[in-house]
Structure 1
Amino acid sequence: MAESRKIIAQNRKAHFNYTIEDKIECGIALEGTEVKSVRDGNVSFNDSFALIENGEVWVQNFHIAEYMFSSVFNHDPDRKKKLLLHKEEIKRLQRKVEEKGYTLIPLDFYLKNGLVKLTLGVCKGKKQFDKRADIKDRDVKREIAREFRSNLNG
């Protein structure tokens, strides 16, 4: 059976502000109305990060809007959410985070075969000159593509 993957949200700022060393896919523990709100795409996690506390991984500043069709029960939109990982994976992440300058940043949020998943990146913050170099490389690639298109058309 082919796996179906529907991306709900991506953290584009993370790719600009951090160098991504490693990626890991993990599940996320959600309440009922959170899942419904996620399926509608009502998530925001630009400033979110993950912490390891007592052998568990928690993501913070991860906003899932309240489900508007719920009449009785609704969730707290800004509560910290538990990420579902194996103990060995958590230990490996713990060793990485203890190194200087590494942090855990959510990169992608998606549905995989009906389950809500999150890609967690082991990231290191970029310096200002690294960001400038990325912008310059992107502009050069854009110019090359523009020239290539104009040569094909003309």
Structure 2
Amino acid sequence: MQQTGLKTIAVNRQARHEYFVQESFETGIVLVGTEVKSIRQGGVNLKDSWCSIDKGELWIKGMHISPYEKGNIFNTDPLRVRKLLMHHKEIDRLLGTLKQEGLTLIPLSLYFKGSRVKVQLGLCKGKKLHDKRDAAAARDAKREIDRALKTRNQ
């Protein structure tokens, strides 16, 4: 019997700072054995990664998976392009929205679902500088309110 628990491996925090996430999707990813072992040790970075659709297939680019220390000749290139697994109808629908609305696909997180590695993709629209400032101001205001409430309740 498989576990259905989710174990988060990596989160792309910068993506939520740089983009408005309009919709998110869960996809599988094609990996080699030593990559899975390295991911289990937490050797993955999503910071500068993005996704593209080439010839009807979904690919993740710029994702860095550190070489497995005991993998010797079986290790692959840490920045190689990896295929994402999604139904063709979903990929076609994504391709249509990407072309029409000028959106982009960004990996938001990487996690284990049971024994499988899954990627959460976000259909994102870029933030302007003033949007980032507004978000930072709102976050700072919330922090100040929480501090004031905490000192008041003591």
How does the TM-score come out when normalised to structure 2?
Answer: 0.96
The residue aligned with 2:99 is 98
Q: Distance in 2 between matches of 1:68 and 1:47?
A: 23
Deviations 1:56-93 (A, max 9, x none): 00000011010001133111111000000001110111
The residue aligned with 2:133 is 132
Q: Distance in 2 between matches of 1:27 and 1:145?
A: 39
The residue aligned with 1:69 is 70
Counterpart residue identity of residue 85, structure 1 = M
SS at match of 1:77: coil
Q: Distance in 1 between matches of 2:142 and 2:3?
A: 34
The residue aligned with 2:9 is 8
Give the length in aligned residue pairs: 153
User: How far is 1:148 from its partner?
Assistant: 0.7
Within the alignment, does 1:30 sit opposite 2:59 as a pair?
no
Counterpart mapping for 1:33-112 below 5 A: 33-112=34-113
How does the TM-score come out when normalised to structure 1?
Answer: 0.96
Q: Distance in 2 between matches of 1:71 and 1:131?
A: 43
Where does structure 1 lack aligned partners over 5 or more consecutive residues? none
SS at match of 1:83: strand
Task: Percent identity, please.
Answer: 45
Q: Distance in 2 between matches of 1:25 and 1:50?
A: 13
Q: Distance in 2 between matches of 1:55 and 1:131?
A: 34
- Mapped contact 2:3–2:114 kept (Cα < 8 A): no
Counterpart residue identity of residue 4, structure 1 = G
Runs (4 or more) in structure 1 with deviation over 6 Å come to none
Where does structure 2 lack aligned partners over 5 or more consecutive residues? none
